[in-house]
Structure 1
Amino acid sequence: MSTDKVTRNRWLILSHGFNMDGRASSQTITDKIPYLLEAGIKPTVFSAITGIKDQRFPHNQFLAWGPAAFRFDFRHWIANQYGRGFIYKLLTRTVSILLAPLIGLEKLCLGYSSQWSWSIPAFIHGYKLICAGKIDMVYSTGGAWSAHLAGLWLKKATGISWIVEIHDPLVIRKSPIDEGSEMPKQRDARFRHYLERQIIRYADFAWWFTDGAVHFAKARNPNLNSTGSAQGFMVLPGAEPPGGLSAAKRHLYTDTLNLSHSGSLAKDRSLSTILNALQGLFKKYPEAREKIRVHVYGAALDSLTVDAITKLGYQDVLIAHGRLEMDPASGKSGRERVVEKMQEADVLILLHGNNEWCAEYIPSKFYEYLWTGRPIWAITHRNSQLDEMLSMRGGYLSHEGDNIGIEMALERIWLDWQEQRLIEPKWLPLGVDQAVEQILTEIKYKH
C-alpha cells in the first residue's frame, strides 16, 4: 500500500453522528474541522439526520435504510425540530409501534447494532461522488461502525485512499490474557471482529485513541504496519474548550462540597461506588451528611445507582440534572452549559468502568475535564496510560475494586475541602490541534 505524500485535499468524511450536541462521537470529529480547514482540507461530510446541518461545507444527511436505525435517527431529528415535548412523544411512540415488527425481524435475521444500515446510503452517494472525480480521500470516523463499513465498501469498489479513526475498540476482550483473537459467537461482535481485520487489510492508515487499543489490535493482526496493510498509530484526541472556558476562572469555595459527574452511566460504570463510599465517610464525619452533594449531568442514572439511593436514603445527596440541551435564552449549546457546570464544581468525578476493555479506553469526558481547571477524582481500571496522564496533572486517583482506597480518597477530598486546599491541577489540557497535526503528519498530508 502506497505511503507517498498525499497532496490531494478533497476529503469525504463519513461520520454517523456529526454535529450532535454533546455526543462524544460527534465532538471527536467536529472539533477537528477548523484545523482541517486551516490545513487546506476541503471536506464533504456524510452523516445521519440526527445532528445539525453544517453550513461551512457540503454536508449531506441521509436516513438509514434499516428500521431500527430509522427509529433512532427519527427520534433525534424530531427532538432537533420540535424539542422533547408532546409532539416528540406522540410521533416517536407512533413510529416505534409501526416499526416494531420490522425491527424484530431485522434483529432476528441480522443481529447487528442498529446503525449498521446507514452504511448503505453513505456508500451509494459516496460512490457517485468518487466516480465523478470529486473526492480524493475517504475518512471514516466513529462511533457507529457503519461509517467504517461504508468506507470499506468504497475502498473495495473504487480503490480510493481510505483513512480510519477508531474511537472505541471494535473487538471487546474478556480478560487480561485474552487478546480477542477468537471469533465471538454473538453476531454483532463477530461482524466487528471481521470489520477490524478488513480495516487493517484495506485501509491506508488507521489510528486508535490509546496505547492499549493499538497493542491489542496489533496482537490480533500481526500484519498491522506491514507492507500492503494499514499503517496504524495512536492519537490522543483531546478536546476544545467549549465557550472559551479556561482555568483563569477563579474557584470559589461555598458551604457545600460539590462533586460533579458528566456523561453516561451503566452497571459497569456506576455512581453507586461513590454513594457506598459516602456511607463510611458519613459515619466517621456525621456533619458531612449535610455538606456533600453529588451532581449528575447527562444520561439517566443506572440501576445500581438508583438502588443505592433508595437503600441509603440519599435522595437529597445525589442530584440528577438530566441532559442539558441548548438554551434558547442564552444561545448556549448543551455542551457549553455542561462545561460551565463542571467548572462550578469542587471536584469532578471520572468513572472509568470495570470491564476488561478499560485497558483500551479513555473516557472522552476526561479531555473536557482538563479544560475546566478543576481537580479530577478518577476511579480507573487497568489503564496505566490514563493513570500516568492523571498523575502528571495532579488529582485524586483511585482504582476500581479497591474499596479502601476509594474511601481514603473520598476522605482526603473532604478534609482538603474543609481546609480549602483542594488539589490545584497543573494546567496541561490537550487540545485538538495536536491530534490533527499528528494525523496529517502520519498520513503525510502536505498542503
Structure 2
Amino acid sequence: MSEFSQPTELKGFVNQRWLILSHGFNMDGRASSQTITDKMPYLLEVGIRLTVFSAITGIKDQRFPHYQYLAWGPSAFRFDFRHWIANQYGRGFIYKVLTRTVSLLLSPLIGLEKLVLGYSSQWSWALPAFIHGYRLIREGKVDLVYSTGGAWSAHLAGLWLKRVTGVRWIAEIHDPLVIRSSPADDGFAIPRNRDARFRYCLEKNIAHFADYVWWFTDGALHYAKVRNPNLNSKGNAHGFMVLPGAEPPGGLKTNKEHRYGDKLHLSHSGSLAKDRSISTILSALHSLFQKYPEARQQICINVYGAPLDALTKEALEQYHYHDVLIDHGRLEKDPLSGISGRERVVQELQKSDVLILLHGNDEWCAEYIPSKFYEYLWAGRPIWGITHRNPQLDQMLSERGAYLSHQTDKLSIEMALERIWLDWRGRQLQIPEEKPIDVRQAVATILNTISAN
C-alpha cells in the first residue's frame, strides 16, 4: 500500500488541480528537469490533477495536459530552438545548419536584449507562462501553482500569477538565487550585475508572497532565512528544506556484483568548469604516478556528459595524460534500444570502480549539493567526494562509506587517491552503504508540510 494513501491529511489532495511551471521539463539528462519529472508519479498517486507548462526544449508528456510555449525573447528563443531541433533531428548536419542560421539572424536582437535588460536568457519564458496561466486560473481550472527551477523564469511567472490572482503558490528553489562571495558575506549587499540584482529582488518577493518555498540544502535555507527573516512568519512564505533525491533510471537496481578489471576506472558525470575541474584529479594522479610508476598504465578516468573545462585541457597538455583520460561526451538517447541518455550514463557508471563527485571551490558550495550525487547512490559504486564547505554533504557521504577529500586540501586529495589505488589493487574497494535517497521522501515532505500548516 502506498505511504500516501494512509495519512488522513493527504486525502485533501485528491482532485486538486496543480499547475506546474517548469522551463526545462522532460529534458533528458537535465538536473532541473529530473528534479520535477521524477516527482510526477507520486503527485499523480495521491490524486492530484496536473497541468504542466514548459518550454519546447523537452519531450511532450502524455500522462497529463502538457503545454509547451516558446519564449518571447531572442536569446531564450535561440536556446529553446537548439534543443527542439536536437529532439527532432539529432545533432547532425541539419542541426548545425539550422541553429547557426538562427543564431546569425537573431544576433542583433540578442545584443540589444542584453544591452537593455542584461538578464539571463530564459527570463522571457515567464511571459507566455504567465498569460496562459492567468487564463486557466480565471477559468477556475487551477487550485495551486507550483514553480520549479532551474531557470528563474518559472518563479517570476509564479510571482506574477500570485500577485494578480491570489492563487496559492509554492516554489522550489534548485540553486540559490543570491550568490554569496565569501563565508563572511550573507548576501545582503545589492548586486551591481543586473541579472544578479533581479534574482536578489526575486528572492525577497518569493519569501513574501509564496505560500510555501523550499531549498535543497541546509545551507541554502539558512542563508535565505538570514536575508529574509520574515520566512515562516504569519502572512509570509513557510520555508523549509527538502532533499530532492533521484529515481533509479529505467528501474535500475544496485545489486549487481562488481567485477575488477585490469584497470582502475574512475568516472565522472556532469558539468565541468574552472571551479569544478578534472584538473584536480590529474594533479593528484601526477603525484601518485611518481610514487607508484606502475599505476601509469593501470588507471583510467572516464568523463561523461560535458565538454572538458579549460583547466583540464591545460593539465592534459602539461602532464601528457591524453591516454589516461577518456572524454565520452554527452550520451544521447539510443534510437535503436530506446534507452535514454540518462539511463546510458548510469549503466556506464555501474561498470566503474569509483565515481568522482566534484563539488567545486566557490562559496556557493555551502548551499549546493550536486544533483549527480543522488544518481551516484543508485549506481551502487564507491564514491570519491571532493567537497567544499558543506557539512551536510560531508555527512551524507561519510554515512555511505565514501572516500572523502576537501577541495582546498591538496594533501587530502592525494591521500584519498592513493588509498583508492591501494584498495583497488588489493581488491578491497570500500563497499558503499546502499542508502539511496529516492524522490518519494521528497514528495512526502512537501505534501506533509503543506497539509500541516
Q: What CA deviation, in whole Å up to 9, does each residue of 1:284-324 have, x standing for no partner?
A: 00010000000000010000001100111011100000000
- Alignment partner, residue 6 of structure 2: none
Q: CA 1:133–1:34 in 2, change beyond 3 Å: closer, same or farther?
A: same
1:262 aligns with 2:256: no
- Aligned pair partner of 2:302 in 273, 295, 300: 295
What corresponds to 1:315 in structure 2? 322
Equivalences for residues 63-142 of structure 1 within 5 A: 63-142=70-149
Find the partner of 1:371 among 366, 378, 381: 378
DSSP 3-state at the match of 2:141: coil
Q: How far is 1:18 from its partner?
A: 0.1
2:407 maps to 1:383: no
Q: Displacement of 1:445 after TM fit?
A: 7.8
The whole-number CA distance in structure 1 between the counterparts of 2:159 and 2:131 is 12
Q: Percent identity?
A: 73
The equivalent position to 1:195 in structure 2, one of 195, 198, 202, is 202
Paired with 2:250 and 2:125, the residues of 1 have a C-alpha distance of 32
- How many residues align structurally? 443
Mapping of 1:213-292 within 5 angstroms? 213-292=220-299
Find the residue that maps to 2:79 and give its secondary structure: helix
Q: Deviations over 1:365-423 (max 9, x none)?
A: 00000011100000000000000000011010000111111000000000000000000
How far 1:329 sits from its partner (Å)? 1.3
For residues 215-269 of structure 1, what are the alpha-carbon distances to aligned partners after superposition, in whole Å with 9 as ceiling and x for unaligned?
0000000101000100000000000001222221010000000000000000000
TM-score by length of 1: 0.98
Q: Distance in 2 between matches of 1:40 and 1:307?
A: 53
Of the three residues 340, 347, 358, the one matched with 1:351 is 358
* Structure 2 CA distance for aligned equivalents of residues 214 and 193 of structure 1: 15
| SS across alignment from 1:237 | coil
**Secondary structure at the residue paired with 1:168?**
coil
Letter in 1 for 2:384: W
Q: CA offsets per residue over residues 340-384 of structure 1, 9 Å max, x none?
A: 011000000000000000000000000000011100000000000
AA matched with 1:385 = Q
Residue identity matched to 1:69: A
Structure 2 residue ranges without an equivalent (≥5): 1-8
Q: Distance in 2 between matches of 1:331 and 1:307?
A: 37
CA distance in 2, matches of 1:50, 1:295: 28
Partner of 1:206, secondary structure, is: strand
| d(CA) in 1 for partners of 2:111, 2:18 | 37
Amino acid of the structure 2 residue aligned with 1:363: P
- For the residue of structure 2 that corresponds to 1:50, the secondary structure is coil
For residues 183-208 of structure 1, the C-alpha deviation after alignment (integer angstroms, 9 at most, x for no partner) is 00000000000000000100000000
The residue aligned with 2:5 is: none
Give the letter for the 1:142 counterpart: G
Partners in 1 of 2:289 and 2:100 — Cα distance?
44
CA distance in 1, matches of 2:362, 2:246: 25
**What's the counterpart of residue 59 of structure 1?**
66
2:89 alignment partner AA? Y
Task: Report how far residue 20 of structure 1 moved.
Answer: 0.1
**Following the alignment from structure 1 to structure 2, what is the Cα–Cα distance between the partners of residues 342 and 445?**
40
Q: Which of 331, 338, 344 matches 1:337?
A: 344
* 1:349 match: secondary structure: strand
Distance, in Å, in 1 between the alignment partners of 2:412 and 2:439 is 33
Counterpart of 2:179 (choices 172, 193, 198) is: 172
> Which residue in 1 is equivalent to 2:215?
208
Instruction: Give 1:334 deviation, angstroms.
Output: 0.2
> Aligned-pair distance for 1:157?
0.7
Q: CA deviation at 1:177?
A: 1.0
In structure 1, distance between residues paired with 2:452 and 2:220: 24
Q: Secondary structure at the match of 2:451?
A: coil
Aligned-CA RMSD value: 1.1
Find the partner of 1:426 among 425, 433, 436: 433
Amino acid at match of 2:347: E
Q: TM-score, normalised by structure 2?
A: 0.97
Once residues 21 and 433 of structure 2 are traced to their aligned partners in structure 1, the CA distance between those partners, rounded to angstroms, is 36
Gaps of 5+ in 1: none
Match of 1:410 among 410, 417, 437: 417
Whole-angstrom distance in 1 between the partners of 2:78 and 2:19? 26
Secondary structure at 1:165's aligned position in 2?
A: strand
Which residue does the alignment assign to 1:42? Answer: 49
Q: For 1:331 and 1:342, locate their aligned partners in 2 and report how far apart those are by CA, in whole Å.
A: 19
Mapped partners of 2:82, 2:408: distance in 1: 37
What corresponds to 2:4 in structure 1? none
Distance 1:166 1:40 in 2: 24
Inter-partner Cα distance in structure 2 for 1:17 and 1:33: 14
Q: Distance in 2 between matches of 1:90 and 1:359?
A: 42
